Amino acid sequence: MTDYANPDVLVSTDWVAAHLNDPNVRLVESNEDVLLYSTGHIPGAIHIDWQSDLNDPTVRDYISAEKFASLMSRHGITPDTTVVFYGDKNNWWATYAFWVFQLFGHTNAKVMNGGRMKWVEEKRDLTTETPTYTASNYSTPTRDDSKIRAYREDVLQHIAAKKPLVDVRSPGEYKGELLHMPSYPQEGAIRGGHIPGAKNVPWARAANADGTFKSVEELKAIYEDEIGLKPGDDVVAYCRIGERSSHTWFVLSYLLGYPQVRNYDGSWTEWGNAVRLPIEK
């Protein structure tokens, strides 16, 4: 992992095992399958549900800075706590939670390479016990969406400037044949297709079979050799609701070190339903 642009953002399963009782570390499990945590998780890990914990219940947006501070305080997390994310599906939702934490400035955060699958396959300890921690006093942060989040208007400007867009969905979604991944309910958008000018690189191509991230050389071959990205590019990634694209955002930003990468979390459920927005197939 030392070849990555920011190797410290990743930790191994060995590192996590050695820090299970470290009071300055808080493990966070975040999954697509929200019931998976209750079947067994890494000892001491808390569960953060992407929908009920991180999303506002009435506005399609993330929780307020005040609610984020309350969430952190409830789990005994301080700004100095090292938060380590992991989850199912190649850390798909773990990187999404990581991305949301960055909106609130909690930069003391890492991802366990290989995620839940690697931990389980190594036959490491799991527990069904839900931990409790003494509440902390987490000051209300300032949420800053400007650097790592793109809105619809930003994407329109991006298209006009002919800057690179990465569509991380499945090829069928990109071509307009599907509205969601294969084997999922085909819902969420009226129209199929992709944002004009976007190149397609399915998010999971960045991961190995064991859930770990591919090497720098392999990642560069995918994103630079295949679709022509350059490290100085201003890049916007998107998917259907912004969760798969957060994985690609993580790869480009932290593993390859691209300085200007934003996640368009409105993604296809916004773009494919919006009036007067152009699409390609």
pLDDT tier for residue 185 given thresholds of 50, 70 and 90: confident
Asked if the model's pLDDT at residue 42 lies above 80, the reply is yes
pLDDT digit string, tens, across residues 63-72: 999 999 999 9
**Token code pair at residue 94:** 């773990």
Asked if the model's pLDDT at residue 207 lies above 90, the reply is yes
How does DSSP classify residue 127?
Answer: B
> 263 by DSSP, 3-state: which?
strand
- Would you say the CATH fold of 152-271 matches that of 7-121? yes
User: What is the rounded CA–CA span in Å between residue 96 and residue 107?
Assistant: 14
Asked if the model's pLDDT at residue 1 lies above 80, the reply is no
The fold of the 152-271 domain, in CATH, is Oxidized Rhodanese; domain 1 (3.40.250)
Residues 6 or more apart whose CB falls under 8 angstroms from that of 95 comprise: 85, 111, 246, 247, 249, 250
**Token code pair at residue 202:** 């399915």
Of all residues in the chain, the percent with pLDDT exceeding 90 is 95
Superfamily holding 7-121: Rhodanese-like domain (3.40.250.10)
State residue 182's pLDDT score: 87
Domain locations in the chain? 7-121, 152-271
pLDDT digit string, tens, across residues 143-176: 999 999 999 999 999 999 999 999 999 999 999 9
pLDDT tier for residue 181 given thresholds of 50, 70 and 90: confident
Asked if the model's pLDDT at residue 59 lies above 90, the reply is yes
Asked if the model's pLDDT at residue 2 lies above 90, the reply is no
pLDDT digit string, tens, across residues 239-252: 999 999 999 999 99
pLDDT digit string, tens, across residues 212-237: 999 999 999 999 999 999 999 999 99
**DSSP readout, 83-114?**
EEEE-HHHHHHHHHHHHHHHHTT---EEEETT
Of all residues in the chain, the percent with pLDDT exceeding 70 is 100
Active-site positions read: 239
State residue 186's pLDDT score: 86
pLDDT digit string, tens, across residues 82-112: 999 999 999 999 999 999 999 999 999 999 9
pLDDT digit string, tens, across residues 136-152: 999 999 999 999 999 99
**What is the average pLDDT score of the chain?**
96
